[in-house]
A = this chain, B = another copy of it.
């Protein structure tokens, strides 16, 4: 347990008690594990079945939560694609070390077991780019520190957020586990038929250049531990190297007993706010020096598996 004395003003703001009581005690930062353990039931939320995707890759369950606040049209299109089965028997076609894993329906479908042309069904074939949204009305849980890539950052809806108040823009940063919609040269050429996830150091130079659609909640290792592709940009060179994705469903379309029972900590909860402060400090006695700093891409939003589904 590390005790840290904050400047008087910050402690007063946190305690809202300094006007009455002029005695300030040092702030004690609880370890993240303790904060997670004692979080109240109302500080956790279940996943919206219409906003959650479930894939199977190498026998592992991968759960992706969409971010409709930031990319409403892409989220709706991807929901349609999963609901109508477009991603069943799709494949991972690219794994670029320290960068991204990308999946979709390969041009050569010989490895997916499908031989008929793949239809995108009722999904839109053209979407606008959704790189940023208005920032100034967002009720973020803010980070105390800036990181160089953005003027401010924080969390909302369970997602990391970067923002520039001067430009009134907010966006989902390319942190580990964040999912985007692949595009060609034209900025508005993504539709959600090709998705990628960050598997290395956050490539924040991609921020505001492509539509980020969500985050992997569970099963990252099914995407991060795959063999790297030997082709340009990490693409697999032969269809036989593709990693099959035999099933890919909208959570709402799965029978109740097949749904992963997960809860995510609410990022507007008191426990998450305490976690953000705790992450700035080294609370484990193994550390000899506390960073007194944190970065939006170094903080994971807690997730837990619920043993007994709620009624």
Looking across the interface, which residue of chain B has its beta carbon closest to that of A222? B228
Given the complex, which residues of B lie within 8 Å of A205, measured CB to CB? 282, 287, 291, 294, 298
List 17 A-B residue pairs with CB atoms under 8 Å apart, sorted by A's residue number.
Answer: A95-B225, A97-B220, A97-B224, A98-B177, A98-B300, A145-B148, A148-B293, A148-B295, A149-B291, A187-B288, A200-B200, A201-B298, A202-B298, A203-B298, A205-B291, A225-B225, A225-B226
Is A44 located at the chain interface by the 8 A CB criterion? no
Let me know if B176 and A98 touch, CB within 8 A: yes
Contact partner of A204 among B226, B286, B291, CB < 8 A?
B291
Let me know if A298 and B148 touch, CB within 8 A: no
Looking across the interface, which residue of chain B has its beta carbon closest to that of A224? B97
Let me know if A149 and B295 touch, CB within 8 A: yes
Given the complex, which residues of B lie within 8 Å of A98, measured CB to CB? 176-177, 220, 224, 300
Looking across the interface, which residue of chain B has its beta carbon closest to that of A229? B221
Count residues of A near B (Cβ-Cβ below 8 Å).
44
Query: Which residues of A line the B interface, CB within 8 A?
Result: 95, 97-98, 131, 145-149, 175-177, 185, 187, 199-205, 207-209, 220-221, 224-228, 282, 285-289, 291, 293-295, 297-298, 300
CA–CA, A131 and B209, complex, Å = 38
Given the complex, which residues of B lie within 8 Å of A200, measured CB to CB? 176, 199-201, 224
Let me know if A287 and B145 touch, CB within 8 A: no
Measured CB to CB, the closest approach of chain B to A300, in angstroms, equals 8
CA–CA, A145 and B149, complex, Å = 10
Contact partner of A147 among B147, B228, B287, B289, CB < 8 A?
B147
Given the complex, which residues of B lie within 8 Å of A131, measured CB to CB? 288
Let me know if B227 and A228 touch, CB within 8 A: no
User: How many copies of the shown chain assemble into the complex?
Assistant: 2
Given the complex, which residues of B lie within 8 Å of A227, measured CB to CB? 221, 225
Measured CB to CB, the closest approach of chain B to A32, in angstroms, equals 12
Let me know if B149 and A209 touch, CB within 8 A: no
Given the complex, which residues of B lie within 8 Å of A295, measured CB to CB? 148-149, 204
Measured CB to CB, the closest approach of chain B to A215, in angstroms, equals 13
Measured CB to CB, the closest approach of chain B to A15, in angstroms, equals 26
Q: Give 6 A-B pairs besides A149-B295, A187-B288, A201-B201 with Cβ atoms closer than 8 angstroms.
A: A95-B225, A131-B288, A146-B148, A147-B148, A185-B286, A208-B288
Query: Of residues A203, A228, A291, A297, which shows the largest number of chain B Cβ atoms within 10 Å of its Cβ?
Result: A291
Looking across the interface, which residue of chain B has its beta carbon closest to that of A99? B176
Let me know if A204 and B282 touch, CB within 8 A: no
Looking across the interface, which residue of chain B has its beta carbon closest to that of A290? B205
CA–CA, A130 and B97, complex, Å = 29
Given the complex, which residues of B lie within 8 Å of A294, measured CB to CB? 205
